[in-house]
Structure 1
Amino acid sequence: MRHTLTAAGLLACGTAHAQDVKLTPSVDARLRYEHVDQAGLPRNADAVTLRVRPGVTASWNGWSALVEGEGVVALADDYNDGTNGKTAFPLVVDPENIELNRAQLRYAGKDGLAVTAGRQRIALVDERFVGPAAWRQSEQTFDAVRFQLGKSEGLSADLSYVRGVRTINGSNGSGARPVAIGGDNVFALLNYGTKFGTLAGFAFLVDQDQAAVQGFRLSSQTYGIRFAGAAPLGRQVKLGYVASWARQSDWHRNPNDYAATYWLGEANLIAKGLTATLGQEVLGAAQGTPLTSVQTPLASYFKFNGWAGKFGTTPPNGLRDVYATLGHGWKRPGPFDALNLAATWHRFDSDRLNLHYGDELDLLASVKRGHYALSARYAHYKADAFATDTDKFWLQVDWSL
């Protein structure tokens, strides 16, 4: 009887602990059509791709374990995905892919301490230097250990050591477009948050330790400071502001010897649903030779310097991007949860030698209802002294659980 009672007690205890573990499934699906008409290439690109990310998270008492897969299939493949050799078509970096997207173990305490280990998504600050490149169907993830301490107000710290970067090239990547890039990457931020904004000091040590990727020339160390915040100007009127400065130089095995300056200034006015933004971003140049200007190989590129994607690699003479955006958003218009319209204009110039690279217009219309989001985008790049005229159009449906 005594052994029976003991066994029953252990079983009850085990059942109670099992009930404390919460399992949360997740699904993220995206169907996208992308058309590219690029001067200088004989064919136009027409890509129809479907991306699905199924995952599950087990959480218990501050601990969580996440496993997430990723699959991309091309329903129409008249495009150069960077790995299929279709060089007559413009580049659309959405190759077919099946891979483990994320597998991480995380602890988040009530005292503001969080530790995440494994393959994970990392998005730091505005994603200019480190981000998941979420616009592409296969996102960029990091094999890393990340420590976070503190909360949004007051002093906080964020430190990551990254041993490998899983690229947007998918499981068939090779050569200059590899599946992954190893290296000893270190990302560090020290933040101080106030009601007026957050002041951040940052260091991004990027180690692209693979000879096929620009001969190690994308390895760099960047140190800088950033302040971003917002202040009310009146009822339903708010002014947002961002200022950032950094200095980048060669690091680790980079054979180049250079130093270049980065800075950003931006202001936006928000009045009810209307948003107006004006800004300038400068990726400075050193001596004007390739890859001696400010480079950001781990950035979420689509968020910066125009949707046509002409400046993923900063030109040798650097880049000055003056941009203005006007947008309006509506909450619960008719049958939808949200409706947004926006237009952005860019003027691109060099940082040295006073070259006018070109101009770009980007347009967006999007609606959201429940688990669904539908968006249409258009980008028109008019070349002057850099690249070629390019038009891009996207139609996209997102669904998430």
Structure 2
Amino acid sequence: MQTEYKLYTIAALTLLATIGISANANAENQAKTTIDLNLRYEAVDQENTLKDASALTLRTRLNHTTASYNGFSGVVEFEDSRQIAGVDDYNDTVGNNAEYSVIADPESTELDQAFVQYKQGKLTAKVGRQVITLDNHRYVGHVGWRQDRQTFDAATINYNALENLNISYSFLNKRNRIFAQANDLHSKDHLINIAYKTQYGQLTTYGYLLEVDEGTTNGLDTFGLSFKGQKDNFSYFAEFSTQDSESGTTDYSATYIALEGGYSFNAVTLKLGAEVLGSDDGMYGFSTPLATLHKFNGWSDQFLATPKEGLVDLYASLSGKAFGGGWTVVVHDFSADEASESVDDLGSEINAVYAKKFANNYTAGIKYSAYSAGDTASGKVDTDKVWVWVSAKF
């Protein structure tokens, strides 16, 4: 109850601030209210003792963004996720229907965002509950694929020190995760990201110092460097980072490597890549707890937590346009970074998606993933998932 009181107090204060900002804005600088709806069916079939799962859910997101006055603006946004038409045979991750496979879309009504922003020249500052995404979402993202997306209670500063140089710092004291409000985590997280654009691409260096503030000794410190660019029909990406993990009296270290190259021809793009989430002697796997994990290592979400043996993901994707929409097909081959006698082959996966916008405000899509398990000791099983959705924004 106390947490809910704090949340709605934040919303009320932000709303009062936004009303004041809007009242003083000029006629050319208007406030904006939007609604975002997402109706989605999801089905899961796994080769285990769990029952096949199915869910029909509707996510509603209502946003009010003020006009700007003397550099100040504000946002208040509420998000609601509901089960529709009684299609609710799934483990929602918050204690319901444990006999079914997991679909991580629990019913919830939350304050999704509530922040005040100040923007002047090269400086932008933001305080309150907010969406934070950095680079390709590998370390920090909004997990927007799920109905209850991830936001943070944070203070953020962005500074364009030079024309091609951007410096970003965020302090997070709460992670509002995708599993409804009761499973959010208090934290003491520091996110530092420095990006410099060159004629060949963008060079980024970062340091992410994470700590769950729950009265236990822990820490997850990651430092890295990435480079992303495009020349004519070619695209390229490379990244390397190191990570130190502390949990109680146990310390681990691991490294991360990603390489990707792409080529576009006749409106079709081919990409080949490798991602290595390293292991510390088969006892700890490289971790990215704030990431949009669904985007990486297969859409069936088998590797939301990196195995202690680590993970090597070799993949190829082909994407293009058809019938006014976009399609993508991805193939993954998974293996352990530090194999043991029982864990080496971690399986393979095929992903496919087609989505199309229509009537200005609508998008419809269908998506499929099929995971084939490798070593039985890895704890994975064959898994098929399908999604069908329609979304609207006004």
TM-score (normalizing by structure 2): 0.88
Give the Å deviation of 1:23.
Answer: 1.4
Question: Which residue of structure 2 lines up, in the alignment, with residue 301 of structure 1?
Answer: 293
Assess if the C-alpha contact under 8 Å between 2:311 and 2:337 holds in 1: yes
Q: Distance in 1 between matches of 2:22 and 2:95?
A: 52
Q: What is the distance in 2 between the residues matched to 1:34 and 1:153?
A: 45
What is the percentage of aligned positions where both structures have the same residue?
Answer: 32
Instruction: Output the amino acid matched with 1:94.
Output: D
Would you say 1:389 and 2:382 are equivalent positions?
yes
Shift of 1:46: 0.5
Contact 1:152-1:193 at 8 Å conserved across structures: no
The residue number in structure 1 matching 2:205 is: 201
Aligned counterpart for 2:40 among listed residues 20, 32, 52: 32
Q: CA deviation at 1:181?
A: 0.7
1:214-225 to 2 correspondences below 5 Å: 219-225=219-225
Kept in 2: contact 1:153–1:194 (CA 8 A):
no
Give, in whole Å, the separation in 2 of the partners of 1:125 and 1:152. Answer: 19
Q: Deviations over 1:212-239 (max 9, x none)?
A: xxx766x31000100001111xxxxx11
Matched, 1:363 2:352: yes
Q: Partner of 1:72 in structure 2?
A: 81
- The aligned counterpart of 1:288 is 282
Instruction: Tell me whether 377-386 or 143-152 shows the greater mean CA deviation.
Output: 143-152
Contact 2:260 2:271 in 1 (8 A): yes
Consecutive unaligned residues in structure 2, runs of 5 or more: 1-20
1:37-93 Cα shifts (integer Å, max 9, x gaps): 011134100000000000101122432100000000011110000113312111111
> Which protein has the larger Cα radius of gyration, Structure 1 or Structure 2?
1
SS at match of 2:302: coil
CA 1:47–1:116 in 2, change beyond 3 Å: closer, same or farther?
same
Q: Cα RMSD over matched residues? A: 1.9
Distance 1:153 1:318 in 2: 39
Counterpart CA distance in 1 for 2:167 and 2:373 is 42
Give the one of 302, 322, 325 matched to 1:310. 302
Letter in 2 for 1:82: T
Query: What does residue 49 of structure 2 align with?
Result: 41
Equivalent position SS for 2:66: strand
Deviations 1:279-336 (A, max 9, x none): 00000000222xx210111110110000010000000100000000011125xx5xxx
- Secondary structure (helix, strand or coil) at the match of 1:268 reads strand
- Give yes or no for the alignment of 1:189 onto 2:198: no
Would you say the 8 A contact 2:50–2:101 is kept in 1?
no
Q: Distance in 1 between matches of 2:105 and 2:122?
A: 37
Equivalent in 140, 161, 172 of residue 171 of structure 2: 161
The alignment partner of 1:128 has SS state of coil
Instruction: Show structure 1 runs of 5+ residues with no match.
Output: 1-13, 233-237
> In the aligned structure 2, how far is the partner of 1:364 from the partner of 1:259?
36
Q: Any conservation in 1 of the 2:90–2:103 contact (CA below 8 Å)?
A: yes
Q: What amino acid is aligned across from residue 17 of structure 1 in structure 2?
A: N
Secondary structure in structure 2 of the residue aligned to 1:32? strand
Q: How many residues align structurally?
A: 363
For 2:373, the aligned partner's letter is A
Contact kept? 1:162, 1:184, Cα under 8 Å? yes
Q: Distance in 1 between matches of 2:206 and 2:248?
A: 21
Q: Distance in 1 between matches of 2:143 and 2:268?
A: 27
Q: Which residue of 2 aligns with 1:9?
A: none
Superposition map of 1:114-193 within 5 A: 114-150=124-160, 154-171=164-181, 173=182, 178=183, 180-193=184-197
